[in-house]
Chain A
Amino acid sequence: MAGQSCLISNDWICGEYLRTRGQELTDATLQHVGITLASVAIGLLVAFPLALLARRWRAAAGPVLGLTTVLYTVPSLAMFSLLVPFFGLSVSVVVTGLVLYSLTILVRNILAGLASVPEEAREAARGMGYGPVRLLFGVELPLALPALMAGLRITTVSTISLTTVGAILHYGGLGNLVYDGMHSYFKAQVLTASVLCVALAVAADLLLLLVQRLLTPWTRAGKGAV
């Protein structure tokens, strides 16, 4: 049988592998997507107040930016390992590590986005009687969206790629398949999981680009008017 032989001869590309291990691949992909979604969502929830804090008090800006940059320097294997004593061998270790990495770019881009809001827009909103909260969510945040979304795209793509290292704790999504395939020299499994991982990153990037275009229709309208 030609189909069977590609599993036995350990080919890189193997249709039989896709057919017989479909469930395994789906589970790994779902875990990968779940870990990425949780990390990026928590990252946003943490980065937003941090960025606001850094903007409100100049004294806080240096330490916040400095600390998030230092965190980015820590190699992923070390980061996950350092978190093990706090959370045990659980998925929380991987998610926390990825959240910490995401902060560097998210905080920077949210700050840059808020800084790019024209002072006139703020003045106009204040003149119309906007309070600070309504000003933030009604005027500043929408205008900061392009920079924020750019940061979100970079973060999501690198989070998807870094999730694979979670395989050392067996919470690495597709990384688990790469890790296991490495030990058993299973070429089809390693290649398929790697390709899926890259495809996932590209798909997420395009999806976020689409969301950005839908959320900020004025950026395109402006181009046409000029």
Chain B
Amino acid sequence: MSAIGRSFRRMKAVFIARNLEYLRDRASFGWNLVFPVLIVFALAVVFSGPPRALFTITTISSDDLPELVEFPGVEAIETDRPKALDRLSRQQTDLVVEVVDGSVNYWVNGNSASGAILELLLTYTETRPLKRGETDGDAIRYVDWVVPGILGMNMMYSALWGVGYVVVRYRQSGYLRRLKATPLTKFEFLSAQVLSRLLVTLTASTIVFVGTNLILDYKMVGSIWLLFLIALMGGLAMITLGLAIACRTESKEFADGLLNAVTFPMLLLSGVWFSLDGSPEWVQMFAQVLPLTHVLEAARAVMLDNAGFADITIHLAVLVGFCIVGMALSIKLFKW
């Protein structure tokens, strides 16, 4: 048998062993499937109905805004024009306003009653010249928007803890030292861990996605294969991040702290629960260094806006970068 054949045989053996361990751990396995389903249904119940009760205006510039923006009951969010118009087409905002050279440009969604009311109020209250634009598009429910977030969050926890924490547990228990005394190489061991967890993560995400969609029928207008590619790259990026965290860590408690330090910012700032539009610029910039942000932005673009491969290339490129850096660091620094 060739060296590659032997290497593949060893990798396959570790891959199968890790899968067996996971599948027989019924509590963990069940939780990975049940937890996201519960969250999706809970949010579907809590946030059922229209996405917002108040009027929402999205502003593109912040100077000399119309008086309407300051009205009681109006919530204002500032962002750039493409994002603002995306929000308008999904009816996540009722009116988009921009002030340029002393005139007021505004956009409404032709399908939105709230937009029509705000437009009327704007024409009565604004003395500067007005220029009208219009988009269309149906309102999305909160559940449509939040489902990619929950699937991504589940993937993040499954990938980071399922690899990072497990490898540290193996090390602390002496199992890695036992493996070191065999011809198994670091690359073979790490690759088997990555592939095993990727299989688990993708399977769990697919089951949750299909299962919840059968009941909630949330919006999915793009390519299912593109969504699968995003899940694949996102899963890989976060698994390799987990490996990089675990490559030298010897204490489960320390690993727990490190994993929390990585997951908590993603949970808050990657757009799992709410959009970061309107948050400070530095927050939005920081969010771009988190892999989950790219997973969720790409997934929402495909699911809600029918984005194609070209539209999400940058997100995929960032995720590939995370994979390469994470795997290289893991192999370089890994200690049995």
* Interaction A to B: no
On A, residues with C-beta under 8 Å from B are none
